[in-house]
Every structure is written in C-alpha cells, then in structure tokens.
Amino acid sequence: MSYSVIYEDIGLKDYKQTWDYQTEIFNKLVDAKKKAAETSVSPVNLAGTLIFVEHPHVYTLGKSGSENNLLIDYIQLQANDAKFYKIDRGGDITYHGPGQIVGYPIFDLEVIKIGLKEYIFRIEEAIIQTLGELGLKGTRLPGSTGVWLDPELKGKARKICAIGVRASKFVTMHGFAFNVNTDLSYFSHINPCGFTDKGVTSVEKELGVRQDIEKVKEALKRKIKGIFDLEWFKTQS
C-alpha cells in the first residue's frame, strides 16, 4: 500500500525558520507514535511530509562533525552574507544556498517498512535517476553517503548531493542538498562533509548550462514518489 505524503515547495526560506517548521511536523509524528505505544492502541498512520526549499547562504554542522571544517570566522561569515548553525542531524559540515534543491522528507519508516540504511539508499537512488535524465552519471562512494560523480577516479571525485538525517521512532527529518545552479565558491570556505581531498560540483557546472530548477524539482519529485511508492496527500483548503 502506498505511503501518503504531503508535498510542499516553500521556495526560498530562512534555514532556522525551516528547521523549526520541519521539527514541528517531526515532533507531531513522533509524539503520535509514542502515545499509541503507551496506550497499546494501534497508531493512525499519519501522512508524511516532503519539503522542497532553497535557503539563503548558510553552513550547517552535524552533531558528529568538527567545527574546524569551517574555514572562516564569524566576521568572514557576515562578509559573505552567510549564517552558521550547529544542528541535530548526522554528518559533518555542508553548505546550503540559492540554486540548490534542499529536500526534507519527514517519513515514518515503519509504515514504509524499511530501515535507515535503505532509506538513505533510496534517497541516493532518486538523485542518481534524476541525474540520469539530465545526462549525468551519478553514483555512490563506498563508505560515504550522498551522490558523486567519478568517485573511482583519483583526484576527480566530486559530490553533487549531500545527505544528512536524523531519526527517532523511525521518523526521519533533515535530508539532502542537491546542487543544481549552486554558487560553488561558498564550498571553498569549508571542508565539505569533512573531506579535504574531494571536490563538489553542480548540474550547471557539469553541463555548462544554467538549469530550469523547477523542471529538475519535478523530475526529482517524480523519482522520489516512484522509489518510495508514495501517494500525494491533498490537504483540505
């Protein structure tokens, strides 16, 4: 049976405001599951949520990351019109900015009947298949999450999509950052995802043409729907 999910594209939005918003949705799902467990009542399968968003320039550091991977100080952050947050996802440091599709799937993996490793694998697969439609060959790098180009070529590996998640009671939050028309110069101020020997790239850089990000969103949305067997839930207006 398909998993019902509310899809929201909230455009360009401040990172902290979006973090608070997805946390609110996440907590509702987790609390509903906890209450059901305490009362031994079968939980009502609440709809999940998939948020697409672009953020103003911001760096986020996961709970397992090192602040040393941010290579500029707070004065330089301000000079680059960027913000910095320590957050509650896995992974190290990454950058979010305009031209990047950031996806926050708030899914109940118990309903989908998969574990966290399979969840991440499916997110990667959705990105890989979207890249394939665009004419690029994305793949995985063993021992690392995310989607890469040419990871097997020494000195050529470059990341095009970062993934960092948090899960509680099998409910996920945070997600992925897919570089489409991203200003890659902002990555020069960090060791992306903690790596010092690998690069980053974007669809625009690889193809040499600025992309229609709305079309890329639609392709990615379609891939996620198919790979996770989702059914879009229409809210009452």
- Residues acting as catalytic residues: 193
Alpha helices by DSSP H, listed for 85-189, are 109-112, 116-134
Which residue's structure tokens are 């707070």?
Answer: 74
Contact 181, 101 (CB under 8 A): no
Reduce the DSSP state of residue 139 to 3 states and report it.
strand
Contact 94, 176 (CB under 8 A): no
User: What is the pairing mode between strands 3-12 and 230-232?
Assistant: parallel
Between CA 47 and CA 8 the distance in angstroms is 13
Between CA 161 and CA 128 the distance in angstroms is 9
